[in-house]
Amino acid sequence: MTVTPERASLAGRVAVVTGAANGIGEAIAVSLAAFGADLAVCDRDEPALASTAAAIEALGRRAHRGILDVRDGPAVSAFIASAAESFGRIDVVVNNAGGGFNAPFLDISAKGQSTLVDENFTSVTHFVRACLPHMGEGGSIINVTSIEAFRGAPGFSIYAAMKAAVEELSRTLALELSERRIRVNCLAPDAIPTPGTPALVDAVRDGHPEEYGGAVPLGLGTVDDCAAAAVFLAGELSSFITGTTIHVDGGTHAASGWRRRPEGGWLP
């Protein structure tokens, strides 16, 4: 099929985006709407989610909201059932919600570990199971992982392990769902300041982005960089891409520990 600008359009499609109240999730939801999709968005932050929905509706698209905890399986099922009833189907699922905290492995309690597993992995399985009955041929599942799925992550052991688990789950689902022509891919962000990355946000705010950005060949990115990749994976332009990960990280994964010297060049 010839590549044309029209193939970038998401007109007539319905997308679900989790963790859509702010940061990467908000940017993805609004960008999908800008390309023509209607949205079902959810988050625990009701005021911020209302703002996201308003931005979607300002673009002339419909927004279906759900205030819920993505770890709550019955709540997820109810939200997706109501979204499918409102829109008639689901074409795109973006599992963006997640989070973590900095602590050595031995300081993480069993309860803390369970929370990290449920928020970063089980939430993904909840949404995939709930959405698949409403998805047809040509659907796209986009799971937001992290650079931490591909490297050691001191202080974030369980979080990183769950992000790696999502990446592996995505590869397997890509095979299992291929007969239905439903594609499954990941986005692995890094070096993108969001409310969920306070240390990085503080470095940028205080005028010291080089404290983190020195390890990033292209410097720091923005949430719109992730949104652009999600728009690509959601539509026909990526119709032959499945079971892979797009690293939206400014080259962090490629650098693998190399850092830019202030005077130019790189050091390991």
pLDDT at 197 over 90: no
Instruction: Provide the pLDDT for residue 204.
Output: 47
Instruction: Provide the pLDDT for residue 215.
Output: 73
pLDDT at 148 over 80: yes
Show the DSSP H helices in 105-235 as ranges. 110-117, 123-131, 157-176, 198-205, 210-213, 223-234
Instruction: Provide the pLDDT for residue 208.
Output: 56
If one compares 204 and 3, the residue with the highest pLDDT of the two is 3
Contact between 40 and 14 under an 8 Å Cβ cutoff? The reply is yes
If one compares 263 and 71, the residue with the highest pLDDT of the two is 71
Span 5-196+222-257: which CATH code? Answer: 3.40.50.720
Band of residue 8 on the pLDDT scale cut at 50, 70, 90: very high
Of 2, 38, 46, 59, which is closest to residue 20 (Cα–Cα)? 46
pLDDT tens per residue across span 203-248: 445 555 555 656 788 888 999 999 999 999 999 999 999 999 999 9
Instruction: Provide the pLDDT for residue 213.
Output: 56
pLDDT at 122 over 50: yes
Q: What is the mean pLDDT of residues 186-214?
A: 67
Q: What is the mean pLDDT of residues 33-55?
A: 98
Grouping H, G, I as helix, E, B as strand and the rest as coil, residue 193 is coil
Among 159, 188, 200, 231, the active-site one is: 159
Cα–Cα distance for residue pair 31/224, rounded to 1 Å:
8
pLDDT at 201 over 60: no
Instruction: Provide the pLDDT for residue 265.
Output: 76
Q: What percent of the chain has pLDDT over 90?
A: 82
Instruction: Provide the pLDDT for residue 155.
Output: 92
pLDDT at 189 over 80: yes
Mean pLDDT, all residues of the chain: 92
Helix 157-176, helix 123-131: angle, nearest 10: 20
Instruction: Provide the pLDDT for residue 69.
Output: 97
Dihedral of CA 123/124/127/133: which sign?
Answer: negative
pLDDT tens per residue across span 25-36: 999 999 999 999
Q: Is 159 a catalytic residue?
A: yes
pLDDT at 196 over 70: no
Q: What percent of the chain has pLDDT over 70?
A: 92
Grouping H, G, I as helix, E, B as strand and the rest as coil, residue 7 is helix
Q: What is the mean pLDDT of residues 80-108?
A: 96
Q: What is the mean pLDDT of residues 104-129?
A: 97
